[in-house]
Amino acid sequence: MTIAVTRSGETETNPAPSPVAAATAPESTPETAPAHTASRVPDGTVQYVRIGDLQLESGILLPDVVLGFETWGTLNADASNAVLIEHALTGDTHVTRGASEEPGWWEQLAGPGAPVDTDKYFVVSINILGGCYGSTGPSTPAPDGRPWGSRFPLVTLRDTTAAEARLADALGIGSWYAVVGGSLGGARALEWAVTYPDRVRRCAVISVGPSSTAEQIAFAQAQTLAIRQDPHFNGGNYYGGPEPEAGLALARRIAHITYRSAAELDGRFGRNPQAPEAPLEAGSLAGRGRYQVESYLDHQGSKLVRRFDANSYIAITEALMSHDVCRGRGSLPEALAPASAEFLVAAVDSDRLYFPAQTRELADALPGGAELHIIEAPIGHDGFLTEIGQLGDQLRETFFGH
């Protein structure tokens, strides 16, 4: 069976519960769910499913894996209307509000009357393996009852896809009407289409390429190193003591620079000081005031610290580093050849994390080729979230129109 709990997510002004508490499944660990169970709870409610032991790519056996997920809508009789929406790096399962008043992170895409119409489709979102919003991860109990911490194994995107396939089995979903994702979520969607081609009829891959490049790995390593060098990190075994908040906040600052374009940062902040601070009037370096852009990055770091676990940030970042659809599969066209899904591929024109050229390389290599849709957004990489409405016609009329 599943166990459903009311989701208590964070808002801009109300910090979330500690990541450890948010990630820990109820003491009575749930069994796998029959197909009809998930449709009985209110839309947008976190549920848990135990999927058993999972053999990882590394050869390690991860025991007694639990996945957290949310659903919206009703699974039809032949389970043909299920849509999987994959979250990005620090996202969660709350795609749209459902029965709660808490806004979701992609309401332009999913909800009643939206392109992914929850009155028509059964929408599922799964917390990635290694995360801190309901799925087994570093902050959840290992078999000895203590948090996994530094003992949590490396998981790859292929591992996370294998885990999600078991959850789909538990829900009675033999194939997805569509799998949709942006950024890390797009990499997860692509891995689904290649690993389980018979289980994905449509696949939307947005703002990601066929693999994580050396530059993307370099940015990611700087972020994980910021966390690991925090004095409170304690090798990953910080639970029950001070947490590596400074390191996690610094990791977020580094990441956020890649999520926004230079033009957006210049236009929004320029060289303006953060009132009443004066960067050029300090009596010492230690007392220097901040520019507005520095204050903005500080704010982004503080927000993430209130809602995310540092070890999960490392685990998921490492999973993104592992993204390479060609690994062990030959050239890019050879790797993509098994995919039989109808693809929608899109990139943000100002993206400087996953350049449009990388997404175009993916689109061109898909069986039969695929049109690359360009989202015009000065904001940068995050435009895949804020400007998804630009793909509304393609999503409504073609992707979800038949």
**Catalytic machinery residues:** 183, 351, 381
Q: How far is CA 183 from CA 178, 312, 351, in A?
A: 17, 17, 11
- Which string of DSSP letters, residue by residue, matches 174-238? SSBSEEEEETHHHHHHHHHHHH-GGGBSEEEEES--SB--HHHHHHHHHHHHHHHTSTT-GGG--
Q: Are 93 and 106 in contact (CB under 8 A)?
A: no
User: CA 341 → CA 86, 336, 345, distances in Å?
Assistant: 16, 10, 12
Question: 47 - beta bridge partners?
Answer: 4, 69
The residue behind tokens 């389970």 is: 79
CA 305 to chain centre: 17
Nearest one of 21, 335, 390 to 182, comparing CA atoms: 390
Query: What is the token pair recorded at 291?
Result: 């520019």
DSSP 284: S
